[in-house]
């Protein structure tokens, strides 16, 4: 007598039952069984220029523009309104969106590194040794 068919007959229903329990409970299905990770944000309606400068790729100049825009036009109603500030375009906004909020407390305490948020380095591109790019010519 082999045990393999018997073990299979018992394991599959038990495993199926376990998965159905997890799927039925939304908090477990989304991985919230453990303590949720703290989401660090800056409230763009209350933050000072120094707090805004903690956002990735935001320096003192842009932070000042955000504060100035807020004082002239009032509070931002939604995060997308930040694109009305000179220097914040759609592509840049997508980088900032995970870190901004329009209500609640500012919880971002340190500058977020902008490494990996841009398309590449600002320096000259290097080519591999011995490889030359063909010159562009007008036809």
pLDDT, one tens digit per residue, over 1-30 is: 566 666 666 655 554 555 454 454 444 444
Count of domains for the chain: 1
Asked, for residue 130, whether it belongs to a domain, the answer is: no
* Rounded alpha-carbon distances, angstroms, from residue 96 to 1, 30, 51, 70, 133: 64, 24, 13, 17, 36
Task: Tell me the pLDDT tens digit for each residue of 59-91.
Answer: 999 999 999 999 999 999 999 999 999 999 999
Asked, for residue 14, whether it belongs to a domain, the answer is: no
Asked, for residue 117, whether it belongs to a domain, the answer is: no
CATH code assigned at 86? 1.10.150.320
Asked, for residue 75, whether it belongs to a domain, the answer is: yes
How remote is the C-alpha of 71 from its chain's centroid?
27
What's this model's pTM, rounded to 2 decimal places? 0.57
> 56: domain range?
42-101
**What is the percent of the chain where pLDDT is above 70?**
55
Asked, for residue 13, whether it belongs to a domain, the answer is: no
């Amino acid at each position: 007598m082999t045990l393999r068919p018997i073990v299979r007959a018992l394991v599959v229903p038990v495993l199926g039952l376990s998965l159905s329990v997890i799927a039925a409970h939304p908090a477990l299905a989304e991985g919230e069984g453990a303590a949720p990770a703290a989401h660090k944000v800056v409230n763009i309606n209350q933050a000072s220029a120094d707090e805004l400068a903690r956002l990735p790729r935001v320096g003192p100049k842009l932070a000042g523009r955000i504060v100035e825009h807020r004082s002239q036009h009032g509070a931002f109603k939604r995060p997308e309104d930040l694109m009305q500030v000179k220097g914040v375009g759609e592509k840049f906004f997508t980088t900032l969106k995970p870190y901004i909020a329009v209500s609640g407390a500012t919880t971002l305490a340190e500058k977020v590194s902008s490494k990996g948020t841009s398309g590449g380095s600002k320096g000259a591109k290097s080519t591999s040794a011995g490889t030359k790019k063909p010159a562009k010519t007008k036809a």
